[in-house]
Amino acid sequence: MVTLPSMQAFACVPDSLNLIGHGIDIIAIHDIEALVEQAGKHFEMQYFTATERSVAESGAKRIQYLAGRLCAKTAVLKALGIDSNQNTFWLDIEVQRLSTGEPSVVLHGQCQEIATELGLTKLLLSISHVSSYAAASVICLGVRE
């Protein structure tokens, strides 16, 4: 039997979990670069936690990092069924990197409350970026009543 690469992420998911939601986002790197140039630290403080800001590199890699994290946050909001135009949720989502290099999501505040109400128990996150675009996909798994 051949395992498809796209299914490998589900190899560690128990059969008792159900799909709660899925979100995907893509953004042009130059759009984030323009926002950073225009709003500077205000943009970063509004959308990224202190931890996310502190681990970001400098220069072009910083812009790619921020774009990837913003895509991940937007994908999480979509997967949870939250309107991404509401600015109140950005700091409730923190994208971290595990020691393995794998990205992970930690939810706080209202996002955590919504996730709990939905029965969410596991988030699967993938982030990718190249010099001109960043993309992220989130799959929310949990127990539905």
14: pLDDT strictly greater than 60: no
Token reading at 9: 């992420």
Question: What pLDDT sits at residue 145?
Answer: 61
| 4 within a domain of the structure (yes/no) | no
pLDDT of residue 110: 93
CATH code for the domain of 90? 3.90.470.20
Does residue 2 lie within any of the structural domains?
no
At 22 the pLDDT is 96
Q: Which of 9-18, 47-56, 112-121 has the lowest mean pLDDT?
A: 9-18
pLDDT value of position 122: 93
| pLDDT tens-digit series, residues 43-78 | 999 999 999 998 877 777 889 999 999 999 999 999
Closest CA to 74 of 129, 109, 125, 18: 125
* pTM: predicted TM-score of the whole model, two decimal places: 0.85
Asked if 25 and 78 count as a contact pair (C-beta separation under 8 A), the reply is yes
Does residue 1 lie in a domain region?
A: no
Residue 4 pLDDT class (50, 70, 90 cuts): very low
What is the pLDDT at residue 6?
45
Range of the domain at 88: 16-142
Q: Is residue 10 part of a domain?
A: no
Structural domain includes residue 110: yes
Residue 9 lies in a domain: no
Structural domains of the chain, count: 1
3 falls within a domain? no
Centre a 10 Å sphere on the Cβ of residue 138 and count the other Cβ atoms it contains: 27
